[in-house]
Amino acid sequence: MRMPEPDSGIIARRTEIVARLREIVPGEGVIVDEDELRAYECDGLSAYRQLPFIVVLPETTDQVSRILRYCREAGVKVVPRGAGTGLSGGALPLADAITLGLGKFNRILEIDYPNRCVVAQPGVTNLAISQAVAGEGFYYAPDPSSQIACSIGGNVAENSGGVHCLKYGLTTNNVLGIEMVLMDGEVIRLGGRHLDSDGYDLLGLLTGSEGLLGVITEVTVRILQKPETARAVLLGFPSNEAAGACVAAIISAGIIPGGMEMMDRLAIGAAENFVHAGYPLDVEALLIVELDGPEAEVSHLIERVQGIANDAGAVVSRVSRDEEERQKFWAGRKAAFPAVGQLAPDYYCMDGTIPRKRLPEVLQRTAQLSEQYDLRVANVFHAGDGNLHPLILYDANNPGELGRAEDFGSDILRLCVEVGGVLTGEHGVGVEKRDLMGTMFNEDDMKQQQRVKCAFDPDGLLNPGKVYPTLHRCAELGRLHVRSGETRFPDIPRF
Amino acid sequence: MTETLKPQSAEQVQDAIHWALAGNASFEVAGGASKRAYGRPLDAAHHLDVSGLTGIVFYEPEELVLAARPGTPMAEIEAALAENGQQLAFEPADLGPLLGGGAASTAAATLGGAVACNLAGPRRIKAGAARDHVLGFHAVSGRGDVFKSGGRVVKNVTGFDLSKLMTGSFGTLAVMTEVTVKVLPAPEKARTVLLLGVGERTAAEAMTMALHSPYEVSAAAHLPAPIAATSAVSLVSGAGAGVTAVRVEGPGPSVEYRCKALRDLLAPLGATDELHTANSAAFWREIRDVSCFTADGAAAEQVWRLSVPPGEGARVGEALVRDTGGRVFYDQGGGVLWLAMAPRADAAHAAVRAAIGAGGGHATLVRAAPEVRATVPVFHPQPAALAALTARTKEAFDPRGVLNRGRMYAGV
């Protein structure tokens, strides 16, 4: 992976930079020893590693502001980091950059039931928010599978999803406000406890900006009342086509399930072997459809879903009898990644999104690629919203196999774009998909995005080398070429 | 001389912008122009009329996605969706009549306008605003560059989410040439529970109780007695008192159950009643379109829209009535307040914004004479650092101020 050339001038000034950072963050908050830095050398995409230049763990917004202002003045790059669970290398350190860890921002600041929101520091885990409000019957809807460990600040930076997005939205639909610090140290608050501030929707822009625009120091999220009931139905199909058709038919019938997940034969077998969820092993595709709401609604819709599934050729149709069984149905799906991980020494998780109806074709072509690369692949799929997670099995100890797995993954993502989808549904571009951005966006598309970056970070010091394959200087991006003398104006209807 | 350019294609939009750049000219950009009076008045020399960019590009009901050119009338979009039992779940308000455009403005309203103004309706609390439904777009920036962002799928984190920036930017960043939105099934059934004869504080309590319940309330509003009296729905106008309304939508058996459960929940606070299909739809259309401030007698009044933490709504409303002498009603569970008041040169903007208080929020001057909108901050004033960031964001798309310059903030 090609990263920006480390600045030897910055590296040479390490002692001075550490001293200045220690003036801002006293005590043990500045980490310089190689052994301790090692803990920060990668995020959830562990194939890429780099020892950070220095790690700083501030505890207050004021410290973040002073660190960034100093780094801006000194020309030092900064890589923000939440819990380090990201899967695209967004928090991959740079040899000449400070890794700014937000792990000490770990407090829930306020639970505001009258306004149905929680104000939290960015290092609070996703699950901790739901747990903090569970006693009153509330929860925070987006539930990425890493929710036990991932931080809410990281969720905002990546616009994380989960299995309930189709009905309840992504992070971006559930965040009300943030406090962030710009690279020049300015502290800016966006939104609050109300909806839709007028002015540009910078809150929406920041969500999913992968640490390139600002450092988030506080997050306000909406909380929802838990549904009265939830039940899941397991549906087994003799082919991926039949399962895909069932998904389309459910949605066409006007039903938006709380969750709708699909697994292919290899994933089903692995999950069943791992957690004994009771999955049928003689089907090609398995759907888990969850309906939630009042009992009257759930029983009505379950019946309709089962009818639709029968028409689509389901050979297995089982409704969870109680909460324990519902949890069991989900346990297999939730453990699918580690379960598939048991099938091979290593696996590589992809994250494209496709229009739902192209699923059978994409799975078929993925199978062809699997033969071509001689690597097995298991498919787990957020069927409701078209988000596909192929898991490529490989063994890093076999020379060349990692490279082959990466090439295979890139081909799958190109395929997703080709059928009208996108490179990443919820894991982010990071470094992993950076060099594939050109398959989805042309140079002008990416330049416009980078101009937005310039409005926030004109020197390109915040998380450089991520998301965009080519770094343009802001002065160059700002240059305007006026086409004088050759306007085709006369062709436009005038009044 | 003022030119009105009416491009028929993305390429002609680009040509028009290059023409303006070459001549240091600026455009007022509009589609159906139904919301032209929303925002600060412009001093642009020319008009860029994008109402010629029409037509649904694709609509795939089973994929829950629709793409259209921005000048496509909302009525056309809504008709196409209705044929398949679907809808724009953000329930976009039809603000043209409120802004003085009469019935003709309803027909003129376009998808591009709904996106540019980030419209929403009572269902905002459950389904989101336009911002939550725009999946991607194609546009020409104020630099004259053609670009796109986003895609056609809901789950997409590839690159910055410029769709969010475009939505609610009032045409100040770029001219959209195609926009892709998420569509959703229309609910099979809707019912509205009415709580009759309650004041603001009890109404706030009732809306909070309903929104804290597991009954998936899709709208919650409160009309004080004089405003309730203006409703065309007789159960509401005939109440002779303040009316709080709570809507449930979904499959039939579920709606019946939740409607009853909500009536039971709210019964201790006062008398309850319910609106069924047609009356429920008519009532929420009135709320959505702020119909009570559209009537002939109200046309001269200035209208503000405030968004505050819902729990603060009643307190803010009392302060607004006290300090401006105006009339207020509440939508979105108390989080949105609409205020109508006798016109003043300063639109009482200091008092209106002071009413928001420490809980935070914003106030937008939606209707006022052009000379008032030219001097009073129409959009909520921003702290210096945010204002500077806003200006830099504008510059990233439209450095010469070709597009709707000054619509939101002076010079932006």
CA atoms in the 13 A half-sphere facing the CB of A192: 17
| B119/A contact by beta carbon, under 8 A | no
- How many other CB atoms sit within 10 Å of the CB of residue B392? 15
Q: Looking at the structure, do residues A97 and A112 belong to the same domain, yes or no?
A: no
- Sign, CA dihedral B77-B82-B86-B87, equals positive
Q: Looking at the structure, do residues A241 and A175 belong to the same domain, yes or no?
A: no
User: Which of B:69-88 have CB within 8 Å of A?
Assistant: 85
Q: Looking at the structure, do residues A391 and A328 belong to the same domain, yes or no?
A: no
Nearest-CA distance from A32 to chain B in Å?
33
Written as six digits, the tokens of A6 are 């480390």
Q: Which of A432, A465, A489 is a domain's end point?
A: A432
Tell me the backbone φ, ψ of residue B379, rounded to 5 degrees: -90, 155
Distance CA A214, CA A193 (A): 21
Q: Looking at the structure, do residues A112 and A221 belong to the same domain, yes or no?
A: yes
Q: Tell me if residue B41 falls in helix, strand or coil.
A: coil
A75 within a domain of the structure (yes/no)? yes
Contact at 8 Å (CB) between B328 and B317? yes
Residues 6+ apart with CB under 8 A from A27: none
Contact B158 A495 (CB under 8 A): no
Distance CA B165, CA B130 (A): 12
Q: Which residue has the tokens 């009482």?
A: B348
- Helices B349-356 & B313-324, crossing angle to 10 degrees? 160
> What is the topology classification, in CATH, of domain B189-288?
Alpha-Beta Plaits (3.30.70)
CA atoms in the 13 A half-sphere facing the CB of B130: 27
ipTM field: 0.98
Distance CA A447, CA B150 (A): 14
Q: Which of A432, A462, A482 is a domain's end point?
A: A432
Contact A254 B188 (CB under 8 A): yes
- What's the domain count of chain A? 4
Q: Which residues of A touch B359 (CB under 8 A)?
A: 192-193
| B400/A contact by beta carbon, under 8 A | yes
Burial group, residue B256, by CB count within 10 angstroms (0-12, 13-18, 19+)? middle
Q: Looking at the structure, do residues A117 and A219 belong to the same domain, yes or no?
A: yes
Q: Which residue has the tokens 């919301």?
A: B35
**Which of these CATH numbers, 3.50.50.60, 3.40.630.10, 3.30.465.10, 3.40.50.300, describes B50-185?**
3.30.465.10
Q: Count Cβ–Cβ pairs < 8 Å, chain A vs chain B.
A: 319
Nearest-by-CA chain B residue for A194: B309
Q: Looking at the structure, do residues A333 and A348 belong to the same domain, yes or no?
A: no
| A478/B contact by beta carbon, under 8 A | yes
Residues of chain B with pLDDT under 70: none
Burial A364-390 (b: 16+ CB within 10 A, else e): ebbeebbeebebbbbbbbbbbbbbbbb
Q: Looking at the structure, do residues A242 and A293 belong to the same domain, yes or no?
A: yes
Q: Which residues of B touch A448 (CB under 8 A)?
A: 141, 145, 147, 149, 162, 396-397
Distance CA A116, CA B220 (A): 15
Spatial CA neighbour of A153 closest among A211, A212, A223: A211
Nearest-CA distance from B297 to chain A in Å?
28
Contact A187 B149 (CB under 8 A): no
Q: Which domain holds residue A20?
A: 8-101
User: Which of A:312-331 have CB within 8 Å of B?
Assistant: none
A268 within a domain of the structure (yes/no)? yes
Nearest-CA distance from B46 to chain A in Å?
11
Distance CA B363, CA B209 (A): 26
Q: Looking at the structure, do residues A262 and A332 belong to the same domain, yes or no?
A: yes
- Sign, CA dihedral B366-B68-A164-A354, equals negative
A206 within a domain of the structure (yes/no)? yes
DSSP A375: -
Angle at alpha carbon of residue B278, lines to B276 and B279, rounded to 5°: 65
Q: What is the pLDDT along chain A (495 residues), one digit of tens a residue?
A: 889 999 999 999 999 999 999 999 999 999 999 999 999 999 999 989 999 999 999 999 999 999 999 999 999 999 999 999 999 999 999 999 999 999 999 999 999 999 999 999 999 999 999 999 999 999 999 999 899 999 999 999 999 998 888 899 999 999 999 999 999 999 999 999 999 989 999 999 999 999 999 999 999 999 999 999 999 999 999 999 999 999 999 999 999 999 999 999 999 999 999 999 999 999 999 999 999 999 999 999 999 999 999 999 999 999 999 999 999 999 999 889 899 999 999 999 999 999 998 998 999 999 999 999 999 999 999 999 999 999 999 999 999 999 999 999 999 999 999 999 999 999 999 999 999 999 999 999 999 999 999 999 999 999 999 999 998 999 999 999 887 655 555 578 877
Contact B309 A193 (CB under 8 A): yes
Contact at 8 Å (CB) between B321 and B296? no
Helix (H) or strand (E) holding A218: strand A215-222
Distance CA B309, CA A115 (A): 6
Q: Looking at the structure, do residues A221 and A166 belong to the same domain, yes or no?
A: yes
DSSP notation for B289-327: TTGGGTSGGGTTSEEEEEE--GGGHHHHHHHHHHHH--E
Q: List C-alpha distances in Å: A190 to A396, A463, B406.
A: 44, 21, 21
A219 within a domain of the structure (yes/no)? yes
Distance CA B128, CA A196 (A): 9
Distance CA B198, CA B204 (A): 10
Nearest-CA distance from A192 to chain B in Å?
7
**Which of these CATH numbers, 1.10.10, 1.10.150, 3.40.50, 3.30.70, describes B291-384?**
3.30.70
Provide the CATH number for the domain around residue A88: 3.30.43.10
Q: Where are the domains of chain B?
A: 50-185, 189-288, 291-384
Q: Which residues of A touch B118 (CB under 8 A)?
A: 196, 201
Which long-range CB contacts under 8 A does A241-244 form with residues at least 24 apart? A241/A360, A242/A285, A242/A312, A242/A313, A242/A314, A243/A284, A243/A285, A243/A286, A243/A287, A243/A312, A243/A383, A244/A285, A244/A356, A244/A357, A244/A359, A244/A360, A244/A383
DSSP notation for A376-407: -EEEEEETTTTEEEEEEEE-TTSTTHHHHHHH
Nearest-by-CA chain B residue for A454: B396
pLDDT of residue A481: 82
Q: Looking at the structure, do residues A115 and A70 belong to the same domain, yes or no?
A: no
Q: Which of A409, A432, A455 is a domain's end point?
A: A432
Written as six digits, the tokens of B316 are 């803010």
Q: Is B50-185's fold the same as B291-384's?
A: no
Provide the CATH number for the domain around residue A402: 3.30.70.2740
A144 within a domain of the structure (yes/no)? yes
Amino acid at A300: H
Selecting from B60, B64, B359 the residue whose C-beta is nearest the C-beta of A193 gives B359
Q: Looking at the structure, do residues A190 and A236 belong to the same domain, yes or no?
A: no
Contact at 8 Å (CB) between A50 and A93? yes
Q: Looking at the structure, do residues A113 and A220 belong to the same domain, yes or no?
A: yes
User: Which of B:380-399 have CB within 8 Å of A?
Assistant: 380, 382-383, 385-386, 389-390, 392-393, 395-397, 399
pTM for this entry: 0.97
